[in-house]
Amino acid sequence: MMSSLLWEPSQKQSNHTAVANFAKRLADKGLHDWQGDFHALWQWSADHPETFWDQFWDWHGLIGDKGDIICKNPDQMTGGQFYPNGVLNYAENLLADADDSLAIIAWREEGERQSITRAELKQRVMAMAGWLKAQGVSKGDRVAAYTPNVPEAVILLLATATLGAVFSSCSTDFGLNGVLDRFGQI
């Protein structure tokens, strides 16, 4: 049994997506003949992974160092590596455009809506990172939190990543064995 399609964007909407903008960049550089065919773009990316990921990094403006190898073993599903010598910090990249647009919208259990802008998120993350650093947390350390899925958990995750530390969490509905198993992995 095949499900019916619930919604499909108009051609105008499709032409204004981030994927379409990226594909147009590839076409402008003579790398891919973009005709609005997303399947053809996927096929091109699978056939030319090194070019695809190199262009994606540049187009997205990622902050970091690509390293000297873009793709290692790209034909191996489980052995392929992208940017094996590359270095980036996802928290740094996520927090780079700290403007007034919404970053997090959450609903508390009591029904209260909480909104945090990208600028507020960055400020809170940097404050938490400062506190973690003052507690002695540094690159390679591990931070574990037993916390519900609330904005503060996201803030702690990003603050930990900012320092180069490893973060893991369990929601408060985990049983004891689940918590021990999860935290034992890091």
Tens-place pLDDT, residues 148-183: 999 999 999 999 999 999 999 998 888 888 888 889
pLDDT at 139: 97
Q: Residues 79, 41: one domain?
A: yes
How many structural domains are present in the chain? Answer: 2
Strand 113-117 and strand 81-82: pairing? unpaired
CATH number assigned to the domain comprising residue 174: 3.40.50.980
The count of other CB atoms within 10 Å of the CB of residue 83 is 20
Last-in-domain residue among 87, 104, 132: 87
CA 85 to chain centre: 19
CB 127 within 8 A of CB 120: no
Last-in-domain residue among 50, 65, 87: 87
Q: Residues 99, 81: one domain?
A: no
Q: Residues 83, 99: one domain?
A: no
Asked if residue 73 belongs to a domain, the reply is: yes
Last-in-domain residue among 87, 103, 123: 87
pLDDT at 11: 87
Tens-place pLDDT, residues 69-91: 999 998 887 888 999 999 999 99
Nearest CA among 161, 159, 179 for reference residue 171: 179
Q: Residues 30, 52: one domain?
A: yes
Strand 166-170 and strand 142-146: pairing? parallel
Mean pLDDT of 53-70: 96
Asked if residue 129 belongs to a domain, the reply is: yes
Q: Residues 131, 61: one domain?
A: no
CB 59 within 8 A of CB 32: no
The pTM (predicted TM-score) of the whole model is 0.77
Strand 102-107 and strand 87-88: pairing? unpaired
Asked if residue 3 belongs to a domain, the reply is: no
pLDDT for 65 beyond 70: yes
pLDDT for 14 beyond 90: no
**pLDDT range class, residue 1, cuts 50, 70, 90:** low
Tens-place pLDDT, residues 121-136: 999 999 999 999 999 9
pLDDT at 81: 92
Q: Residues 15, 50: one domain?
A: yes
What's the chain's average pLDDT? 93
pLDDT for 2 beyond 80: no
Q: Residues 104, 176: one domain?
A: yes
Tens-place pLDDT, residues 104-116: 999 988 899 999 9
Q: Residues 103, 178: one domain?
A: yes
20 is in which domain, residue-wise?
A: 11-87
CB 151 within 8 A of CB 104: yes
Q: Residues 67, 119: one domain?
A: no
Strand 71-72 and strand 64-65: pairing? unpaired
Q: Which amino acid is at 179?
A: V
pLDDT for 145 beyond 70: yes
